[in-house]
Amino acid sequence: ETGVTQTPRHLVMGMTNKKSLKCEQHLGHNAMYWYKQSAKKPLELMFVYNFKEQTENNSVPSRFSPECPNSSHLFLHLHTLQPEDSALYLCASSQGDATDTQYFGPGTRLTVL
Amino acid sequence: GESVGLHLPTLSVQEGDNSIINCAYSNSASDYFIWYKQESGKGPQFIIDIRSNMDKRQGQRVTVLLNKTVKHLSLQIAATQPGDSAVYFCAENIPGNQFYFGTGTSLTVIP
């Protein structure tokens, strides 16, 4: 195990639902990330938090809303998603900033109906 | 081979043989590289990394080679085992910037 946990592992939601993804890291890291992984595409960075402050938002639609209450926890709040948002959502953490080695959680497989 | 942009989707090797997975990167300013392994249903797992001041680094059964002249990175797996079957992708980092990931190469080990 990498020390990064994510829940739930699988999520099916309708386009009008509101749900949240949770990530927790037990590595004492200061930076956390959300990535989207779609089939046969490179990982897409969505959000970066460093010491609980958001330092990166890669032009992500507002239907995705991150929250980082402390350096160990990261949430991704979802509402009114589209079917094309179906993907594997990965959380990662690193010791320092985005140039440090990142360690990933197992991901949440999201399906939007 | 794989690149941060293009990829060779699949590679099949016989159990016990050596595997070589390639990655071409585009930015000559990249100074840090990581290879990740992603098994089905799991998140990417760190395998080995290398900085641009090195051209070779060895781990347990894995070796990463870096050729900065042609912007090429490779991962060599010795004595490939069924448990090595996974998608492997490289990541490059430009100083002060985020990581950029390749699309991955799917390695299948034939028993």
Burial (CB count <10 Å: 0-12, 13-18, 19+), residue A105: buried
Q: Predicted confidence band at B49 (pLDDT cuts at 50, 70, 90)?
A: very high
Is a pLDDT exceeding 50 seen at residue A27?
A: yes
How far is it, in rounded angstroms, from Cα A35 to Cα B40?
17
Name the strands in the sheet holding A4-7, side by side, starting at the edge strand that comes first in the sequence. A4-7, A18-25, A73-79, A64-70
Is a pLDDT exceeding 60 seen at residue B108?
A: yes
For residue B4, the model assigns a pLDDT of 52
Is a pLDDT exceeding 50 seen at residue B24?
A: yes
For residue B2, the model assigns a pLDDT of 45
For chain B, the maximum distance between any two Cα atoms, rounded to a whole number of angstroms, is: 43
Q: Which two tokens stand for residue A39?
A: 């089939």
Comparing CB atoms, the residue among B36, B43, B103 nearest residue A107 is B43
CA angle B107, B8, A58 (to 5 degrees): 100
Residue A35's closest CA among B89, B51, B63?
B89
Chain B contacts of A43, Cβ < 8 Å? 44, 101
Is a pLDDT exceeding 60 seen at residue A112?
A: yes
Question: What is the average pLDDT across B89-96?
Answer: 89
Q: Where are the beta strands (DSSP E) in A51-97?
A: 53-57, 64-70, 73-79, 87-94
Is a pLDDT exceeding 60 seen at residue B1?
A: no
Q: Above pLDDT 70, what percent of chain B?
A: 93
Q: Predicted confidence band at A80 (pLDDT cuts at 50, 70, 90)?
A: very high
Question: What is the average pLDDT across A15-34?
Answer: 95
Question: What is the average pLDDT across B78-95?
Answer: 94
Q: Predicted confidence band at A1 (pLDDT cuts at 50, 70, 90)?
A: low
Question: What is the average pLDDT across A62-73?
Answer: 94
Least confident of A11-15, A102-106, B3-7, B43-47: B3-7
What 3-state DSSP class applies to A85? helix
How far is it, in rounded angstroms, from Cα A4 to Cα B43?
10
Is a pLDDT exceeding 90 seen at residue A54?
A: no
The shares of helix, strand and coil residues in chain B, as percent rounded to the nearest 5, are: 5, 55, 45
Residue A106's closest CA among A14, A24, A46?
A24
Comparing CB atoms, the residue among A40, A99, A104 nearest residue B44 is A104
Name the strands in the sheet holding B19-24, side by side, starting at the edge strand that comes first in the sequence. B2-3, B19-24, B72-77, B62-67, B56-58
How far is it, in rounded angstroms, from Cα B21 to Cα B11?
8
* Most A CBs within 10 Å, among B101, B105, B106, to test the A interface: B101
Partner-chain contact B43 A48, CB within 8 Å: no
